Structure 1
Amino acid sequence: MLDTETPSREQLVARAADLVPTLRKHAAWAEEHRRQHEETIEALADAGLFRLRVPKRYGGYEADTRTLVDVTAQLGRGDASASWITCVYSIPTWMVGLFPDSVQDEIFSTPDVRVCGTLSPSAMAAPASGGIVVNGKWGFISGAHHSQWQEIVAVLIEPDRDPMPVLAMVPMTDLTIVDDWHTSGLRGTGSVSTVAQELFVPQERVLPLPVILEGQVVSEANANAAMYRAPLLPVASASSVGTLLGLAAAARETFLERLPSKKITYTEYASQAEAPLTHLQVAQATLSADEAEFHAHRLAGLVDAKCAAGTPWRLAERVQARADMGAVGTRAREAVDLLATASGGSSIYSDVPMQRIQRDITAGNLHALMHPDTNLELYGRLLCGLGPNSLYV
């Protein structure tokens, strides 16, 4: 789908909602095969959802983070794994826009390009003529099977200098995929490991990690673009929460769809819908989902407002971004767990979506960047007058 003009947020959200039946159709296949179905990838591409964070000069939309949240929340109603990789692709795609324009020309020459990646510096690099040589392995690379490029992080060791973590863009054809994604949740993300062996990376495709973390634009063409007026972590935080909102919505839809035909076994309730307990569970789950949406939209609103204004980021704002991300995870999981508990023993069958929804929300909350406990502690440290104990703010 080639747009002659940039679609509005409402149009993009509607496109995502239209894909829900396709995502649901392939969700069980994706879980079984531990990757997304090709029809799902094609549908996401045809809807333009891999172009949300691509610069407009390459046919992208330069969408704000509120749009990304609302789009991926709709996708999460259909399949959390499809939503997750859409979120994950958006973050390294945004990073590409920080690189020199020649690098962008190379990467964005592929229509609907998909860039996967990580922030873990689990590889080593050495200087070489015209670039660096990288050796190492990265885990949790969501969407790797369907990507053309990967963003990698390695620790560069140079004589007479302190070790420096660097971030680089490499073609997937230069990496080896290790099919080790055997998990209990988000199985359809295909978050395998990748390996580099004596991989040469040209210098123009390498930037110091602190440059990326601070969102310092090397690109001349993107120097004044609003989308790049933010540090990486608030952008990544806002880009990640839509899937969790979608899971909370999916849990309620699944529960209410099954409710008319359910009773409560070993009670006199012929219909579960008549039980006061059910009323309390559905009401509390809905309010928890509403609270998750509040934190997601507050987070996206902060990022988008700061980007529009171009004002410097205060430490308190950066930490609040992480706190809001963690709060989305907590409240969304509360909603899912309540409805999963209310769904009874029949919901553990593999053809009932609720069991997958609960496993997926658990997996999402265990992500190192999204873990509610980590983010809550980080926020509490700042509120108590201490500095953050992490570079990732």
Structure 2
Amino acid sequence: MLTTEVPTREQLVRRASDIAPVLRGHAAWAEEHRRIHDESIEALADAGVFKLRVPARYGGYEADTRTLADVAAELGRADGSTSWVASVYWIPTWMTCLFPDEVQDEVFSTPDVRVCGTLSPTGTAVPTDGGVVLNGRWGFISGALHSHWQEIVAIHIPQDGEPYPVMTLVPMSDLQVVDDWHTSGLRGTGSVTTVAENVFVPSSRVLPLPAILEGQGASVSNAGRPAYRAPLLPVASASSVGTVLGLARAAQDAFFQRLPQRKITYTGYASQAEAPLTHLQTADAAMKIDEAFFHAHRLTGLVDGKGADGTPWSLEERVRARADMGAVCRLGKEAVDILALASGGSSVYTDQPIQRIARDVQAINLHALMHPDTNAELYGRILCGLGPDTLYV
């Protein structure tokens, strides 16, 4: 068992802020090459970002989700793609902590291990002696190019009984990578497709997804730990919102950095800063960012609070977690859109970060799990007395 001094939230946020120049300096390279720069990965490792959701017995920090949101906000202020990949790693890493302890021993034996993954069951797991045989394709695998393992969801097809989804852990060396990440936003995330062809997965690395969605893992050591006893979807929601907060702050940074030198062409305003329109735009964007932080911190407060006291989750709390995540995405995008529109024609040049910020926040809002309308509708169903129409609550 390893022992390590666990940094405070403030220290971890400061570390993220300290590496911002490295991430920002490689943001354009990452977008051009459609993957995170190796030096950015090294900077994340040095800052302890990959240890945030690792159990303390392996030298990890077992950080709460408020810390995740605040750290990702600092990373996203420097580069949205890098922040998104870090956030994605936190979720499958947390899911790894629900597997049997011997599986965790294997995964976490690698320093600064990185686990990518998805919740989409776009493959099959057919039972065989000692495990399952995995076949399928999984898209949008952010950070796959720098990962050691992939968490994979597939449909278990037993000889008798109904099929059901399972969660598996597979070494990246067992998978094929398809370089198909040609996109308009989050280009630097390297969210490629991975393929399994007749990959054997031992039964110790196969868990039923319905149990995982309820927070029922197979780990003895983590069973009573606050960080690991929440349902999956609230945890995933709270782990994801920080990047949007960071992108919104980055849009503010980019706008105000250029403001002193800007006029409003074809108007009488020689200084954009003197125009009442600018005052309304910047105030509106700032208030939306404040509201986004409120929803993010209400979400993380709920997840962390219930993890600490161990109280059961109500259905309304679970879907409100998704609604808060959707609200962060909506408000963050609205703030970025206001500032991007106020930035004028010169902001479309690729050396201006706000155009990349706008495309990145748009891509996040299109994500199936984070889409504001999808999450709001689900919350509204429950408020109206209907049951959820999805397993993912």
- Give the structure-1-normalised TM-score: 0.99
User: Do 2:118 and 2:141's aligned partners in 1 also have CA atoms closer than 8 Å?
Assistant: yes
1:47 match: 47
1:233 match: 233
What amino acid sits opposite 2:92 in the alignment? P
1:102 match: 102
Kindly report which structure 2 residues correspond to 1:192-211, keeping only aligned pairs within 5 A, or say none: 192-211=192-211
Deviation string 1:3-31 (CA, Å, 9 cap, x unpaired) is: 84000000000000111111110000000
Q: Does 1:372 align with 2:368?
A: no
The SS at the match of 1:50 is: helix
2:149 match: 149
How far the C-alpha of 1:314 sits from its partner, in A, is: 0.5
How far the C-alpha of 1:159 sits from its partner, in A, is: 1.4
Deviation string 1:116-162 (CA, Å, 9 cap, x unpaired) is: 00000000111110000011000000000000000001111111210
What amino acid sits opposite 2:277 in the alignment? L
2:256 match: 256
User: Do 2:3 and 2:57's aligned partners in 1 also have CA atoms closer than 8 Å?
Assistant: no
How far the C-alpha of 1:237 sits from its partner, in A, is: 0.2
How far the C-alpha of 1:229 sits from its partner, in A, is: 1.7
Give the direction of change, closer, same or farther, for the CA distance of 1:342–1:3 in structure 2 (3 Å limit): farther
CA distance in 1, matches of 2:362, 2:267: 30
2:119 match: 119
- Give the structure-2-normalised TM-score: 0.99
What amino acid sits opposite 1:316 in the alignment? E
CA distance in 1, matches of 2:230, 2:371: 22
Give the direction of change, closer, same or farther, for the CA distance of 1:160–1:3 in structure 2 (3 Å limit): closer
CA distance in 1, matches of 2:270, 2:376: 43
1:20 match: 20
What amino acid sits opposite 1:271 in the alignment? S
Deviation string 1:36-83 (CA, Å, 9 cap, x unpaired) is: 000000000011100000000000000000000000000000000000
CA distance in 1, matches of 2:295, 2:390: 22
2:134 match: 134
Deviation string 1:316-357 (CA, Å, 9 cap, x unpaired) is: 100100000000011101100000000000000000001000
Aligned-pair identity (%): 72
The SS at the match of 1:152 is: strand
CA distance in 2, matches of 1:166, 1:382: 26
More moved, 209-218 vs 234-243: 209-218
CA distance in 2, matches of 1:223, 1:242: 26
The SS at the match of 1:116 is: strand
CA distance in 2, matches of 1:248, 1:93: 26
2:220 match: 220
1:268 match: 268
CA distance in 2, matches of 1:48, 1:374: 33
- Structure 1 unaligned residues grouped into runs of 5+: none
CA distance in 2, matches of 1:217, 1:223: 7
What amino acid sits opposite 1:289 in the alignment? I
1:72 match: 72
CA distance in 1, matches of 2:159, 2:39: 49
User: Do 2:3 and 2:56's aligned partners in 1 also have CA atoms closer than 8 Å?
Assistant: no
Q: Does 1:189 align with 2:196?
A: no
4+ aligned runs moved over 4 Å, structure 1: none
User: Do 2:136 and 2:195's aligned partners in 1 also have CA atoms closer than 8 Å?
Assistant: yes
The SS at the match of 2:165 is: strand
User: Do 2:3 and 2:58's aligned partners in 1 also have CA atoms closer than 8 Å?
Assistant: no
How far the C-alpha of 1:211 sits from its partner, in A, is: 1.6
Q: CA RMSD, aligned part only?
A: 0.9
CA distance in 2, matches of 1:235, 1:348: 36
More moved, 102-111 vs 382-391: 382-391
What amino acid sits opposite 2:358 in the alignment? Q
The SS at the match of 2:50 is: coil
How far the C-alpha of 1:217 sits from its partner, in A, is: 2.3
